[in-house]
Amino acid sequence: MKICYYLDLPTDEYIWFARASIASVRSVMPGAEIVLMTTTQWAGPDLGVDNVRRLNLPMDCFYGYRKYFSQSTIEGDSLFLDVDCIVQKDVSGIFEREFDITVCYRCETDPLKRMLPFNGGVVFSRCPEFWKEATGNPGDHKDWVDPERRLSETATNDAYLVRAIDGNVYNYTPNLPGEDLSGKAIVHYKGRRKEFVLPGITECAA
């Protein structure tokens, strides 16, 4: 099983979260192979991963295209995580089920749930072809909404066996600092929630 991250912008904030996420994986799933997917221009620090894949990706397009393209190059049982995800429980059991892709429903409190039912920050995958379709062309990714929309649209394609699991457990976004997260398998500090663990952070992507 591989745990895969895509990162090509080595800001202090992203590096802090990447290290915290990697450490969380090492704690609960010590046997997993951790892979950093990035570009040939990567100049970030050593994050202590097992494998770095440097891809020749265009930098003049939106980040979502590069992320999805990199995911289309990974074969076998793989968990794709955003770097702002903290893994609190061993989730390798998800791969005991048959599927091409397992996605997480957005949390019930997420206002985007109806328009974009799935969040791409936590995806269990064993089907590179799914990601090739979801990637599309560089021009298909103009902002952060486009990759999320393409994920949801591709997940409805009957060509793939797609399973959906509870985002309130496997891709949970906290609402308040200090919230009890003991029952969550993966906590996703997306957007402004990063301030809950790293005060003063300015990165506020969705």
Using alpha carbons, list the distances in angstroms from residue 137 to 116, 129, 140, 148, 204.
20, 14, 5, 15, 26
**pLDDT beneath 70, residues of the chain:** 199-206
Closest CA to 127 of 105, 88, 98, 156: 98
**Can you give the pLDDT at residue 204?**
44
Model confidence over 46-71: pLDDT tens digits? 999 999 999 999 888 888 999 999 99
* pLDDT of the residue at 206: 44
**Size of the chain in residues:** 206
Beta strands in the chain (DSSP E): 2-6, 33-39, 51-55, 78-81, 85-87, 101-105, 118-125, 162-165, 186-188
Cβ-based neighbour number of residue 54 at 10 Å: 13
Task: Write down the pLDDT at residue 139.
Answer: 86
User: In this structure, are residues 198 and 13 in contact, taking their beta carbons and an 8 Å threshold?
Assistant: yes
